[in-house]
């Protein structure tokens, strides 16, 4: 059977094309060999379950690896110590059945039959079990964060911690599990994020014995290419693996499920045509997929966390810079969902262009809903596409006309906060379906943002500035000319939003020559 690109929960190297993550997984192997307790805390579809599956496949020869999951099928299992103890035994019975360990199944079936189960009994049974089995036991629990606001669960973690500390004091691994791995989106070392708002926040997690480690689970272009080499060896299509790997990385920043999803789109829906244009088409298909839960979660989380909405709006629309500080609770939440990452300057950037486009679409639609009377302006019937190319001059001219007509009497602060958003609202319907636009992270600041517009294999650079004086106007041209050189382009576009009533603005947009570049400048 031919392999496929997989975007579901578990990847199987025999059935699916997979990135070679052996080097990354060696980090987990080392932690287990060092009898560490640790967490695998990553955003949804970021490789947590695949990592657990790798441990099960590759370390079961040396350890008794027991895979389990704490999904809350029924609250009855979490009412008290007795109900949870039996639930835990049941989970181990099922897991040990799957790995065909009859001795373990029999032990936990007998444990489950005990009367008046409590955590003292469960602790004793874990110690007995670890003495009984021949191998050192590695317990893996996935989806653990779904129970992290439950008091019984907190007592369970405390019990495991006490067993761990007892083992460390006595130097005998048989007191408890050799290694315990908890996997989930929320970090159980910081349970404050999952405690209900009306309850008192808990800062001290009973899981403070977890080992710290660093592991980047995103895929770089070279790692992406290992999957495409495997694919090319099967189909012999002759495409440029290095170029396509870098293009996939450009849009996904190596987010595991996004990498696989782009490849799946090209393989199954785009005729196995591996070009840069196909990568962009695949990205557009992903963004239009209403059933793609990763993107559907964005709107849910923005509504759930009010501070997250403001943070993402400030970063994407207002171009504000934030230090990657985990002291900031909303930065920590955004990082937890992998909506952001740390850039080379130690500041917060949007994790990848697919997420940025999704957030852009959310904020644009939100703005249009709140200003529905202006919707006809954005759905203009002007022919902005000529001979297959985007006429950016016409786009800017029409946008200036609309701004002058609609917003000449509007509140200045409103305009200053929304000028960039208004331009996004205007251009997105024009390029929708074919083009793609995003703000260049390196140019985001309170004064300038470069909007990169890709349409039909052509790139347009539009710098959006707020008027700060004549010196800053010149600086804008200097910066734009420099950036055009970096991108290998000869033409660019400069839109300056002016909010000074006594400033005489440029009457009409015009082409100007500056440092060997042609710049179309419009002051609005």
Give the residue from 335, 370, 405 where a domain finishes: 370
Is the pLDDT higher at 418 or at 514? 514
Is residue 339 domain-shared with residue 469, that is, in the same domain?
A: no
186, 193 contact by CB (below 8 A): yes
Q: Is residue 15 part of a domain?
A: no
The CA-atom distances, in angstroms, between 26 and each of 22, 30, 139 are 6, 6, 18
Is residue 320 domain-shared with residue 263, that is, in the same domain?
A: no
Is residue 501 domain-shared with residue 386, that is, in the same domain?
A: yes
Is residue 70 domain-shared with residue 176, that is, in the same domain?
A: yes
Which residue, 518, 453, 509, 507, is CA-closest to 485? 518
Q: Is residue 10 part of a domain?
A: no
Question: Cα–Cα distance between 470 and 377 in angstroms, integer?
Answer: 31
Give the residue from 340, 370, 400 where a domain finishes: 370
Give the residue from 259, 289, 319 where a domain finishes: 289
Q: Which residues pair with 342 in a beta bridge?
A: 348
Is residue 404 domain-shared with residue 502, that is, in the same domain?
A: yes
Q: Is residue 211 part of a domain?
A: no
Question: Cα–Cα distance between 317 and 364 in angstroms, integer?
Answer: 10
Task: Report pLDDT for 281.
Answer: 94
Of the listed ranges 85-94, 229-238, 378-387, the least confidently predicted one is 378-387
- Please, which pLDDT band fits residue 110 given cuts at 50, 70 and 90? very high
Cβ contacts of 201 within 8 Å, gap of 6 or more: 192, 195
CATH of the domain at 357: 1.10.10
DSSP, collapsed to helix, strand or coil, labels residue 519 as strand
pTM of the full structure: 0.86
Task: Report pLDDT for 162.
Answer: 93
CATH of the domain at 75: 3.40.50.300
Of the listed ranges 310-319, 335-344, 376-385, the least confidently predicted one is 376-385
Task: Report pLDDT for 291.
Answer: 85
Q: pLDDT by residue (tens digit) across 228-284?
A: 999 999 999 999 999 999 999 999 999 999 999 999 999 999 999 999 999 999 999
Per-residue DSSP letters for 367-419? HHHHTGGGHHHHT-----EETTEE-HHHHHHHHHHHHHHHSTTS-HHHHHHHH
Is residue 285 domain-shared with residue 297, that is, in the same domain?
A: no
DSSP, collapsed to helix, strand or coil, labels residue 280 as helix
Exposure string over 308-327, b if 16+ CB within 10 A, otherwise e: bbebbbebbbbbeebebeee
Report residue 302 CA to chain centroid gap.
Answer: 14
φ/ψ region of 437 (left if φ > 0, alpha if ψ in -120 to 50, else beta) reads beta
Q: Mean pLDDT across the stretch 73-100? A: 86
Angle at 462 between CA 456 and CA 468, to 5 degrees: 175
Is residue 225 domain-shared with residue 303, that is, in the same domain?
A: no
Helix and strand totals (H; E) in the chain = 18, 16
Task: List the domain range (segments joined by +) for residue 425.
Answer: 375-524
If one counts the domains in the chain, the total is: 4
What is the maximal distance between C-alpha atoms in the chain?
A: 86
């Amino acid at each position: 059977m031919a392999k496929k690109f997989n975007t579901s929960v578990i990847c199987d190297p025999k059935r699916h094309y997979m990135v070679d993550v052996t080097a990354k997984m060696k980090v987990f192997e080392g932690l287990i060999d060092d009898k560490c307790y640790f967490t695998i805390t990553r955003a949804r579809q970021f490789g947590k379950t695949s990592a657990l599956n790798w441990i099960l496949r590759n370390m079961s020869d040396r350890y008794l690896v027991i895979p389990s999951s704490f999904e809350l099928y029924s609250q009855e299992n979490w009412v008290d110590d007795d109900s949870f103890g039996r639930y835990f035994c049941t989970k181990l019975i099922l897991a040990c059945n799957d790995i065909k360990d009859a001795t373990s199944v029999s032990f936990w079936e007998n444990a489950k039959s005990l009367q008046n189960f409590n955590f003292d009994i469960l602790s004793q049974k874990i110690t007995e079990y670890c003495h009984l089995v021949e191998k050192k036991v590695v317990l893996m629990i996935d989806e653990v964060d779904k129970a992290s606001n439950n008091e019984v669960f907190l007592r369970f973690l405390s019990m495991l911690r006490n067993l761990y500390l007892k083992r460390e004091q006595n130097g005998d691994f048989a007191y408890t599990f050799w290694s315990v791995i908890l996997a989930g989106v929320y970090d159980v070392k910081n349970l404050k994020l999952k405690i209900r708002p009306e309850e008192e926040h808990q800062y001290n997690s009973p899981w403070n014995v977890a080992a710290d480690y660093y592991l980047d689970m995103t895929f770089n272009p070279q790692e992406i290419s290992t999957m495409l080499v495997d694919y090319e060896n099967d189909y012999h299509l002759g495409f440029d693996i290095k170029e396509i790997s870098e293009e996939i990385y450009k849009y996904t920043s190596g987010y595991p499920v996004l990498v696989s999803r782009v490849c799946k789109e090209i393989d199954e829906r785009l005729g196995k045509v591996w070009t840069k244009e196909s990568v962009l088409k695949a990205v557009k298909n992903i963004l239009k997929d209403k059933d793609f839960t990763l993107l559907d979660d964005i709107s849910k989380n923005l509504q759930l966390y009010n501070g997250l909405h403001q943070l993402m709006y400030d970063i994407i629309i207002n171009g504000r810079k934030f230090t990657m500080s985990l002291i900031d609770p909303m930065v920590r939440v955004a990082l937890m969902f992998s909506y952001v990452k740390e850039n080379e300057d130690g500041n917060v950037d949007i994790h990848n262009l697919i997420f940025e486009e999704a957030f852009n679409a959310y904020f644009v639609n939100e703005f249009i809903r709140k200003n529905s009377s202006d919707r006809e302006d954005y759905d203009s019937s002007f022919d902005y596409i000529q001979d297959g190319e985007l006429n950016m001059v016409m786009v800017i001219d029409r946008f200036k006309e609309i701004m002058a007509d609609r917003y000449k009497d509007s509140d200045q602060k409103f305009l200053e906060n929304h000028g960039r958003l208004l331009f996004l609202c205007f251009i997105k319907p024009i390029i929708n379906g074919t083009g793609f636009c995003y703000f260049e992270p390196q140019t985001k600041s309170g004064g300038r943002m470069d909007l990169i517009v890709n349409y039909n294999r052509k790139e347009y650079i539009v710098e959006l500035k707020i008027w700060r004086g004549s010196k800053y106007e010149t600086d804008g041209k200097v910066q734009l000319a420099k950036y055009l050189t970096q991108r290998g382009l000869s033409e660019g576009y400069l839109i300056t939003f002016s909010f000074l009533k006594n400033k005489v603005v440029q009457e009409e947009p015009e082409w100007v020559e500056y440092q060997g570049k042609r710049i179309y400048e419009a002051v609005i």
